[in-house]
Amino acid sequence: AGAATPAAAPPAPAPVFRLGVLTVSDRASAGVYEDASGPAVERALAGYVDGDVARACVPDDRARIAAALEALCADRTLV
């Protein structure tokens, strides 16, 4: 009888991250239209990482962007 073929190793689990996705858009943040890019980024990352996602959408204003980044970075591992 021939030697048994070793079983293939299971795939490595996807890294777990607490993701933060920030969209900067005057019109989307004002509700003129729905933010499509934030959810698109989330969907694109879904196949590569397994984790919790927080999304934020702010106007193109330096102070608001900085505040949103600080808030997301406070409890996220990848922004």
* Residue 39 and residue 55 in contact, taking contact as beta carbons nearer than 8 Å: yes
Tens of pLDDT, residue by residue over 41-76, are 988 887 777 778 899 999 999 999 999 999 999 988
Residues 6+ apart with CB under 8 A from 18: 51, 52, 54, 75, 76, 77, 78
Tens-place pLDDT, residues 1-42: 566 667 777 777 666 778 899 999 999 999 999 999 999 998
Tell me the pTM: 0.74
